[in-house]
């Protein structure tokens, strides 16, 4: 199964994709590469959440949970000897929402995931649908101990985009 971290309070400054704002001081988890992002996760979460996959089985389970069975082209393969996968999901909202991963840093043995949940402003015309936005990235493997999984903290900020 994959590890789960619920969103905590706090905000992080937006940085260039794949780079930590303070990578030298805090121990960057590495540059990361986007695997997938979308509006309609099949995983109906009730709050903001980060999922971590450290192996192929957890990755396949994550993909099925997020994309649903038989959803077309599979996500690309990942070298789990050196890499891991992080998925960030938000609770149900309306059309026009998105998630982006801003930075991944390792601090005192914890993975800090900073992400942005962008929602449309009041003047935006959006589809009247329920969405479950998500973003999936791969990064350098950070392993917790066998008996204790990697401690992961999600810091999600919400930004309104005016139209």
With 0-12 CB in 10 A as exposed, 13-18 as middle and 19+ as buried, what is 6?
middle
What is the secondary structure of 78-112 as a DSSP string? --TTTEEEEEEE---B-TT-EEEEEEEEEETTEEE
Share of residues in the chain with pLDDT > 70 (%): 77
Give the number of other Cβ atoms within 10 Å of residue 150's Cβ: 18
At 19-75, the pLDDT tens digits run: 433 433 445 555 899 999 998 888 878 889 999 999 999 999 999 999 887 777 889
The pLDDT, as a whole number, for residue 30 is 59
Model confidence pLDDT, tens digit, residues 141-154:
876 655 456 788 99
The pLDDT value given to residue 24: 39
Closest to 93 (Cα-Cα) out of 137, 35, 134: 134
Predicted local distance difference test score (pLDDT) of residue 124: 86
The mean pLDDT of 74-101, rounded to a whole number, is 91
Does residue 86 carry a pLDDT above 90? Answer: yes
Mean pLDDT of 106-125: 89
Q: Return d(Cα 103, Cα 83) in angstroms, integer.
A: 16
Q: How many CA atoms lie within 13 A of 96 on its CB side?
A: 16
Domains of the chain: which residue ranges? Answer: 3-7+15-161
- Per the CB < 8 A criterion, the answer to whether 55 and 62 are in contact is no
State the Cα–Cα distance between residues 50 and 74, nearest whole angstrom: 20
The answer to whether 94 and 131 have CB atoms below 8 angstroms apart is yes
């Amino acid at each position: 199964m994959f590890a789960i971290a619920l969103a905590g309070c706090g905000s992080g400054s937006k940085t260039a994709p794949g780079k930590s704002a303070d990578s030298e001081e805090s121990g960057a988890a590495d540059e990361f590469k986007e695997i997938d992002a979308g509006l309609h996760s099949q995983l109906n979460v009730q709050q903001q959440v980060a999922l971590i996959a450290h192996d192929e089985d957890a990755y396949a389970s994550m993909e099925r949970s997020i994309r649903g069975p038989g959803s077309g082209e599979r996500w690309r393969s990942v070298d789990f000897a050196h890499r891991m996968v992080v998925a960030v999901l938000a609770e149900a909202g309306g059309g026009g929402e998105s998630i982006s991963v801003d930075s991944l840093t390792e601090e005192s043995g914890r993975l800090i995931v900073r992400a942005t949940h962008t929602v449309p402003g009041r003047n935006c015309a959006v589809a009247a649908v329920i969405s479950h936005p998500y973003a999936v990235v791969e990064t350098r493997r950070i392993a917790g101990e066998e008996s204790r999984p990697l401690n992961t903290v999600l810091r999600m900020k919400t930004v309104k985009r005016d139209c």
